[in-house]
Amino acid sequence: MPYNDIDSISFNLNQLKGEKELFVVFFKDNDGVPTSIKNITPKLEKALSYFKDDSSINISDCIRLTSNNQSTVCDEVKWFKYGQDNKTKLATIKLDKSSKVVVNGVFATAVAPLAVASDILNVDPTLKKTRTHLTEAFTNPVQDFAELEKTKKQVLYVAKQQYDADKKQAMSNADKAVEFITNYPKDDFYEVVESIVNSSAQNKATQNIYKVLSAFPATPEQKNPGIEALRNMKTFDAFSKAFDLSGKAVDAKNAQKLASSQNDKRKVEYMAIKLLRAKNGTINKAFNVSITTNLDGANIKTKNGSTFFTFKSNIDQAVTNFSCGVKIKANKKLGAFQYGTYDVAIKAILKIPKHLMRRSSWLGNSDEDYVDEIVTTKTIRLSGPAFSADTTMLFDNVTATYKDRGVMGGTTEVTMTGDPSINTEVSNVTLVE
């Protein structure tokens, strides 16, 4: 493969990926020269998964790139073994005159064959490495700095070619554009997004615009050109997608004017609920949640004898299951609940007032009141005409009281100081498609 002007390559792959460290797995030819990119990942485990079979090193290799323009092998143990078997050029036991290598992340220079390394290794004295230690290190394969630098440039060259090809495809295909935005999350996507928006606007392809703008990591203001393109189509679907991107009431109102089918009206109704949540910072005003039965926690059992760290301790604890009935009903006075079916998430918070008394030379002494909070959630489906439902919120295996007599003479005692209480709220609501 011809590497034109490879020495002048300035492709910052780490910056485009937004990662300080990248592991690049690449295919190579018989001379070890990169031919194409197999995978780029910030996770070492992912990179090494391509080399579970040792025969993979015959056609592939891996290099670690850092944001400060350094490069190393991906894993010292595996690659030093590959170097011993002459299966990679990135690690070697054959040092040429004046070749640079890396030992434990430190650059050194060998000015003669390895056989007399103990006499000729020149290392920066500020590194405080002994000649004996370096000699021992060089008896095993080491990272070949010159080869790593050369391979890094070749990998970046191939990666740049792949980037250019990906961008070209992204300019004309919405799915490829989303893939491009995902693969290069720190790139400037305006050119790609603008191309998709313009071509999709001409064809009234609302889904393509929505798909790309949803993936585009930008503020609503930065997405405005695409949102305006949707608004200019003046269809229900376009206004609906514009609202999903902007969250503005004007798009919901325009969609409402064009809503004709039952499905359209469901979507407009959901827009109204989203606007209510945006206005109030919560969705609770759209629902009434009430507790219909008293909090039940009568089934208390005492458990004795347990292991505390590595010591046998006398532990007593009262464990109970709390429950209460809950009714949820949509606030139909808002005029929003007529057409849709909704999954509503209820969050219940059990609050138990407690007192902690602890005497411990290890953990310190404590004498304090506090409120123990236990949270449980449940999703209820609401549909018309009633838009209401009854359910039971459960809190299983709650420790009400606790006492530990430690073998080192310390004690920990937790007691209830009042009656438990429960608060409920709606944490989320979604339209069932």
By percentage, how much of the chain surpasses pLDDT 90? 51
Measured from the Cβ of residue 224, the count of other Cβ atoms closer than 10 Å reads: 15
**Residue 159 forms part of a structural domain:** no
**Residue 135 forms part of a structural domain:** yes
**Residue 422 forms part of a structural domain:** yes
| Lowest mean pLDDT, pick from 1-10, 244-253, 419-428 | 1-10
Could you tell me which of 56, 84, 61, 58 has the C-alpha nearest to residue 73? 61
Residues contacting residue 149 through CB under 8 Å, at least 6 positions apart: 71
**Residue 179 forms part of a structural domain:** no
Q: Which two tokens stand for residue 379?
A: 């999703």
**Residue 28 forms part of a structural domain:** yes
Q: If you average pLDDT over residues 349-360, what whole number do you get?
A: 90
The partner residues of 109 in beta bridges, in order of sequence, read 100, 122
3-class DSSP state for residue 303?
strand
Residues 254 and 241: beta-carbon distance below 8 Å: no
**What is the domain count for the chain?**
2
* Domain end position, chosen among 103, 133, 153: 153
Residues contacting residue 53 through CB under 8 Å, at least 6 positions apart: none
- pLDDT single digits (tens) 80-99: 889 888 899 998 765 444 44
Residues 289 and 429: beta-carbon distance below 8 Å: no
Backbone angles phi, psi at 417, to 5 degrees: -110, 0
Highest mean pLDDT among 9-18, 81-90, 298-307: 81-90
* Domain end position, chosen among 153, 179, 209: 153
Confidence of residue 363 (pLDDT cuts 50, 70, 90): confident
**Residue 377 forms part of a structural domain:** yes
- pLDDT single digits (tens) 216-247: 887 777 889 999 999 999 999 999 999 999 99
Q: If you average pLDDT over residues 396-406, what whole number do you get?
A: 82
**CA distance readout (Å), 341 to 38, 314, 338:** 45, 53, 9
3-class DSSP state for residue 429?
strand
Residue 113 predicted with pLDDT over 60: no
- pLDDT single digits (tens) 123-171: 334 433 433 333 344 445 677 888 899 999 999 999 999 999 999 999 9
3-class DSSP state for residue 320?
strand
**Residue 82 forms part of a structural domain:** yes
**Residue 217 forms part of a structural domain:** no
Q: Distance (Å, rounded) from C-alpha 219 to C-alpha 209?
A: 16
Could you tell me which of 355, 387, 372 has the C-alpha nearest to residue 422? 372
For 76, the domain range is: 6-153
Q: Which two tokens stand for residue 351?
A: 């609050």
Residue 299 predicted with pLDDT over 60: no
pLDDT on residue 398:
87
Q: Sort 70 into a burial class: Cβ within 10 Å, 0-12 / 13-18 / 19+.
A: middle
Could you tell me which of 233, 244, 243 has the C-alpha nearest to residue 206? 233
* Domain end position, chosen among 95, 118, 153: 153
> H helices within 295-377, ranges in order?
none
